Structure 1
Amino acid sequence: MRRYIIIGAGAIGGAIGGRLTQAGLPTVLVARGDHLAALRRSGLRLRDPDADVTVPVTAVGAPAELELTPDDVLVLSTKTHQAQAALTEWVDQPVHADGRVLGTAGELLPLLTALNGVASERIALRYFRRVYGVCVWLPAVHLVPGEVIVRAAPSTGTLHVGRVPAGTAGPDDHELLAELKHDWERAPLVVPLPADVMPWKYRKLISNLGNIFQALDGGSGDHRALVAAAVAEARNVLAGAGIPVTSDEEEAATRANSFTVRPVPGQPAQLGGSTWQSLARGSGSVETDYLNGEIVRIANEYGLPAPVNTRVAALARAAARSGQRPGDVTAEQLGRDLGLAEAP
């Protein structure tokens, strides 16, 4: 039986790891600080639209606390800007069987990249031979140590999974993906296995471009026009670079058979996304450089303009450095800062 090691048990990793544990699958959550202490002390509190349960979990703070085996699957679910440090911590860990070391995690173990953006796969391939991209549709929130709020029902979320790069999968990969789909759909998660997962991840990247606008204005104003400008610019950049993106129609059809976002008792009807959560926790960093900043990188590489995403990425960095909280600026001020609205 596979054991799933969730590296980064925050909102996404905590939701996945908690659900896998509930389904009776061997699972280890890797966390740190107060969150790790809470998991060890009391377990993981999972709150969703229909239930509020505390799940006893196995939690560790570092790879030295585990003995890896060939049946382990590593699931990277940090933020993208934290991926490099996590990968270098795990890549050279020994993999054991029958009292001997077979090799390292990077040589032998599959690694799933369950995080936003499209950069983590390239980063991971520097260290791990078998990398599987995951396009994450899972509305979860982690603000309190030891607790994750999942706003989806009846399934917890949808995770498209595929070998990266596309076309390199062999029999071992197909076997692993079939096992993973069987296991994770018990969680319950919906797990499509596209031939190429990256067009799905680029479409999700487009959706995530609005994260920083929600985080900065805290939902206090109407930032839809600003997001639309960033998205239109991104679509032009991706088209100019010749990067395939899953169509809106295909995405909508898949979402219709996925899950429904519903309020969680005792929580506001609207809870922020991953960038909002980073500012709300005062983490000191955000992943915007790998979301809006990814569009900037591609634009720079192909000599294309991306002024809106360039400016909002700079605002995100400044907000994280200064400890800015969601709602400290208005949508109107953001529009002026981005040159998308006239100053009064």
Structure 2
Amino acid sequence: MRFVFLGAGAIGSALGGLLAQRGSEVLLIARGDHARSVMANGVTVRCPDTRSTVHVPTVTGPDQVRLTDRDVLVLTTKTHQAEAAVEQWADVPVHDRDGTVLGSAAELLPIFTALNGVASEEIALRYFERVFAVCVWFPTVMTEPGEVIVRTLPPRGIFHVGRYGVSSDPAADTKLVASIGEEWAAAEFQVIRSEDVLRWKYRKLLANVGNVLQALLGDTAGAEDLRRAAEDECREIFASAGIAFAGDEESQAAWGALSIEPVPGEPAQLGSSSWQSLVRGHSTIETSYLNGEIALIARRIGRSAPLNAKLTALARRAAREGLRPGSLGVEDLRAHLGRV
């Protein structure tokens, strides 16, 4: 197998780099300064206990790639970037070992949606026959091109994986996930096959609704009640919509094996993916698929999620105006939310 990481930012570069270090065949699809740095110097992966630079094959688009029927696509963009990536790769031809074109990527290759939120699976399924949902529990940060920070000791990350949509060959899917689990285990990752992986993705979504506070405030001290309020609103909407998600004890049992530790030379607390978007000056942010997802679910059932909706709008504005984490103080945020 070759793992082709579509949108290799923090998650894709860290996962791909650590897999390549242990001998897996990996291809990173990256962009901008990060792509140029990795192509020139390799990707540096810094962990609490190790630091390594790995030279991983890296390209910037499908015109530079010859896909084969051995490839596994792993989507690691932000959710708001997912559709563009999926559409870009869906019709890329897939070859056999003799160079004969067998069909397109969408027809033949599995795609694993390893990103936050619960929308990317439907996006991928519009194009691809074989979609596997992945709940990612793998704290990583990228603030500089060519370098990613992994904040865990072994196991480095935990991934719940399951087929999305009805499978025509469940046995083949089970075999594929098992094979990936074995190969990723060599790089100190845990892959857990799940028949109901969306329960885990909704649980991760609940955990992610607080990301926006760090993105806006930088230091979230004094905003604990706002996080709880956003999470409580999320739980209420899930209950009203009949959405099942892994409970607190269940998720602690599954994810409690991860030990998050400081990385030498870095602050003890590093930011979420939303925080990273503002730090890097991106004009878009994934919050519309996190807090905004809660607002969407609420509207579908005739309810409202005013706190999560307001947080979504503030995050959009921050990205649009080029604001950095800490541009708002806690009291300013309270005023914007009407919670003074």
Same fold (TM over 0.5): yes
TM-score (norm 1): 0.97
Comparing 331-340 and 2-11, the one that deviates more: 331-340
The equivalent residue for 1:82 is: 81
CA contact (8 A) 1:47 1:148 kept: yes
Deviation (angstroms), 1:156: 1.3
Aligned to 1:322: 321
CA contact 1:166–1:197 (8 Å) conserved in 2? no
Match of 2:301 in 1: 302
Superposed displacement of residue 195, structure 1: 1.1
Deviation at 1:165, TM superposition (A): 2.7
- Measured in 1, the distance between the counterparts of 2:126 and 2:219 equals 38
SS of the equivalent of 1:269 reads coil
Distance in 1, matches of 2:308 and 2:82, equals 22
Cα separation, 2, equivalents of 1:104 and 1:142: 32
Give the aligned residue type for 2:83. Answer: Q
Q: Is residue 213–residue 220 contact of structure 2 (8 Å, CA) maintained in 1? A: no
Name stretches of at least 5 consecutive residues in structure 1 with no aligned partner: none
Deviation at 1:168, TM superposition (A): 6.4
Aligned partner of residue 161 in structure 1, secondary structure: strand
- The aligned counterpart of 1:336 is 335
Question: Is residue 45–residue 54 contact of structure 1 (8 Å, CA) maintained in 2?
Answer: yes
Q: Give per-residue Cα distances to partners, 1:223-249, cap 9 Å, x unaligned.
A: 111111111111111111111111111
* TM-score, scaled relative to structure 2: 0.98
The separation in 2 between residues aligned to 1:211 and 1:331, in whole angstroms, is 15
Counterpart position of 2:23: 24
Return the letter of the residue paired with 2:206.
I
The size of the alignment, in residue pairs, is 339
Quote the residue 1:244 is aligned against. Answer: 244
Partners of 1:167 and 1:309 in 2: how far apart? 35
Distance 2:245 2:192 in 1: 17
- The match for 1:210 is 210
In the TM superposition, what whole-angstrom CA distance separates every residue of 1:140-198 from its partner, at most 9, and x where no partner exists?
Answer: 00010000000000221111111013676611111111111111111111111111100
Describe how 1:172-191 pairs up with structure 2 within 5 A: 172-191=172-191
Say yes or no: does 1:273 pair with 2:261.
no
Superposed CA offset, 1:303-325 (max 9, x none): 11200011110001110000010
What residue in structure 1 maps to residue 160 of structure 2? 160
- Tell me, in whole angstroms, the C-alpha distance in 2 between the residues paired with 1:60 and 1:138: 24
Shift in Å, 1:221: 3.2
User: Which residue identity does 1:134 align to in structure 2?
Assistant: V
Q: Provide the C-alpha distance between the structure 2 equivalents of 1:116 and 1:169, rounded to a whole number of angstroms.
A: 27
After superposition, the CA RMSD in angstroms is 1.1
Is 1:37–2:36 an aligned residue pair? yes
Partner of 2:146: 146
**Could you tell me whether the CA contact under 8 Å between 1:282 and 1:320 is conserved in 2?**
yes
Q: Report the Cα offset of residue 99 of structure 1.
A: 2.3
CA distance in 2, matches of 1:165, 1:237: 24
The aligned counterpart of 1:104 is 104
Question: What does the per-residue CA deviation read over 1:78-134, in whole Å, with 9 as the maximum and x for residues that have no partner?
Answer: 000000110011000000012211100000000000000000001100000100001
How far off is 1:10 after superposition? 0.9
Letter in 2 for 1:62: G
Mapped to 2, the partners of 1:46 and 1:317 lie a distance apart of 30
Q: Which moved more, 1:284-293 or 1:328-337?
A: 328-337
CA distance in 2, matches of 1:286, 1:47: 25
Alpha-carbon contact 1:166-1:195 (below 8 Å) kept? no
2:51 is aligned to 52
Alpha-carbon contact 2:66-2:95 (below 8 Å) kept: yes
Partner of 1:226: 226
The one-letter code of the counterpart of 2:22 is A
Q: Which amino acid aligns with 1:41?
A: A
The separation in 2 between residues aligned to 1:340 and 1:123, in whole angstroms, is 35
Report deviation, 1:340. Answer: 1.8
Q: Secondary structure at the match of 2:190?
A: coil
Q: Percent identity among equivalent residues?
A: 51
Q: Provide the rounded CA distance (Å) in 2 between the counterparts of 1:169 and 1:242.
A: 29
Counterparts of 2:214 and 2:271, CA distance in 1:
7
| Separation in structure 1 between the aligned mates of residue 166 and residue 203 of structure 2, nearest angstrom | 16
Q: Is the 8 A contact 1:263 1:269 kept in 2?
A: yes
1:220 and 1:330 in contact (8 A); partners too = no
Runs of 4+ with >3 A deviation: 166-169
Which residues of structure 2 form unaligned runs of 5+? none
Alignment of 1:109-148 (within 5 A): 109-148=109-148
